[in-house]
Amino acid sequence: MASRVRNKVAWVVFAFLAIGIGLYPLMYLTTSSEFGLLASKSDEVLSSKVWNVAFYGHITFGGLALLTGWSQFSKKLRSRNLNLHRNLGKVYVVTALIGGACGVYLGFFATGGIIPALGFICLGIIWLYTTLKAYMAIRKKDLSLHQGMMIYSYAACFAAVTLRIWMPILILITGQFLVAYKIVAWLCWVPNIIVAHLWVRKKGLTID
């Protein structure tokens, strides 16, 4: 009974964070000032049309991926409305691929140099790879591989949430934005992937 309650609470918190951060890009889209990450960018970067397309593409489609992806782990949704599950999955795949591709490009312009750049580029590549593998697996009706790769894919997507949890903590600990940013570029997703790996093993999914 206690474990069931804990699981329900964890599920509610998981969904709440995914939806909350999924809607976060609206802050960028509704304000005209240099908000959040934009405040740390140089005038040269901010004046680049390609960078701006990639940035708004990343936060918009990444946000949509967060908003739709969490529902793919709902057993009730899958059993009650398989078509909705499939359609939301298609939306997730498209938005994750666009958001991930934009993220890889943006990684080359990461504030703080090569350390955060490599962190975010690796994150983007992992997100793209696992999402594509999950899609190709379901096309081949390989449910085990599909489920395993979807867990890894959404773990990478969920880095948008964990980044915003870790960042203020790291700034508080280090007292410096740049130091915190270099750390969070890796900390926001590496533990997520480790948790995903443990979850995949626990479920006995085959991903080879």
pTM tops 0.85? yes
- Domain assignment of residue 32, yes or no: no
Per-residue confidence band for 7, with pLDDT thresholds at 50, 70 and 90: confident
What would the two tokens of residue 132 be?
A: 């594509």
Is 69 within 8 Å of 96 (Cβ atoms)? yes
69-92 confidence digits (pLDDT tens): 988 888 887 888 888 888 999 999
- Domain assignment of residue 118, yes or no: yes
Q: Find the domain containing 151 and state its range.
A: 2-27+45-203
Q: What angle do CA 165, 167, 169 make, to 5 degrees?
A: 80
Is 103 within 8 Å of 62 (Cβ atoms)? yes
106-118 confidence digits (pLDDT tens): 999 998 899 999 9
- Domain assignment of residue 119, yes or no: yes
- Domain assignment of residue 35, yes or no: no
Is 190 within 8 Å of 159 (Cβ atoms)? no
- Domain assignment of residue 33, yes or no: no
- Domain assignment of residue 208, yes or no: no
Q: Structural domain tally of the chain?
A: 1
DSSP 206: -
Give pLDDT, residue 2: 62
CA end-to-end span of the chain, whole Å?
35
Mean pLDDT, residues 152-161: 96
- Domain assignment of residue 101, yes or no: yes
Q: Which of 65, 38, 42 is nearest to 130 (CA)?
A: 65
